[in-house]
Structure 1
Amino acid sequence: MKYRIIELSVLIIAVISVYAGLSYARQAAGGQTIQKGGLVADVRAKKIGDIVTILINENARASNNNATQTNKQNQLEATGDFGNSFLNNLSGGVSAQTQNQYRGSGQVSTSGTFTMQITASIIKVKEDGNFIIRGSREVETNGEKVVTVVEGVIRPGDISRDNTISSSKIADARIFHQGTGVSTQAHRPGLFTRILNWIF
């Protein structure tokens, strides 16, 4: 009877040990999975075609003034015998004069802090390991379309773990706007004016 009790006790201890070992192995495996997951979560751009988000925060002040003035004057004079035409009754012959004048102006001014996000792509990896990037964004408001373009060179180490980088860390940075809309059209003569200028 004693031997059976001892054997049963040993068996129970063995089962408990095996269970404890399996639990530890599972925890260890889970820890490795988390570690691997952490490595996978690092999605920083590192090769051509990868995308990085540019956080633009610049103090900008810009002014654009457009002014156009055109003058066109034509004069026609004719004298001679016009037969029985009513033109022959005009003293001094026939004269005609046309004058066209057009003035147009447009003004766009911006000042203050320029803040936005632009997604850019790595278009080249330099020999020193730095990245050449380029990105653009098009915004249209109140009939004015503005395309914002960002170009420059960034260091891989300046890219944060969430795959973003501040515009202040872009070397040889070019941040500019290309706009079309109301202001651009303001200094262009209308269709009727252009037709008259073409005729005369």
Structure 2
Amino acid sequence: MKLSPLLRRSQCTLLAVLCIASACAAVPAFAESLYQEGSFRPLTADNKAFRVGDSLTIQVFENSSATTSANTGTRRANDIAGSVTQTGNRIVGQLGIGVSGDFDGGGRTQRTNKLLATLTVTVKDVLPNGELRVAGEQLLTVNDELQKVNLEGRVRPQDISDGNVVLSTRLADAHITYVGEGDVSDRARRSAWRKIFDWLGL
């Protein structure tokens, strides 16, 4: 019995499909997961810094004051008295010497500092306890006066607000420096000769 060319072609096609299907079944399938622990962020999560390289806004509000006072007082008095009498032709005289000295000294220094700033820092490291070590710098020029703010510290994730902002008062081991460079800052600094006079107590 001879098969028609059409039927024979259908059988060949079916046989080829079965061979391809069996070959695919024999090869194990590998799929790469889209989940990456280091960069995964849930869709419902807040936009907060939590890994190295993330940005975080710090609101700096630092207010400090210090007062030092000292008072010194000394009193000193010396008296010398003498008398001379005359009997007959003798001269009668009296002598009295008194020496006294007073010294009063006092000093008072008072210093008040207030720093208000807002700057964005970068997460430099994630510590084993989950805290974030952050650092950043802000440069601002106003009327040819360069103002520079440097900030470093550790932040707890729970202290970060939903807007990805944290107060400087919540930083641990905070190092905040403010430096101004320009005519105004130079005039505000004490001169070298004034420091020498202060050291000599003049």
* TM-score normalized with structure 1 length: 0.46
Choose 1 or 2 for highest CA Rg. Answer: 2
**Could you say which structure has the greater relative contact order, defined with CA pairs below 8 angstroms and 6 or more residues apart?**
1
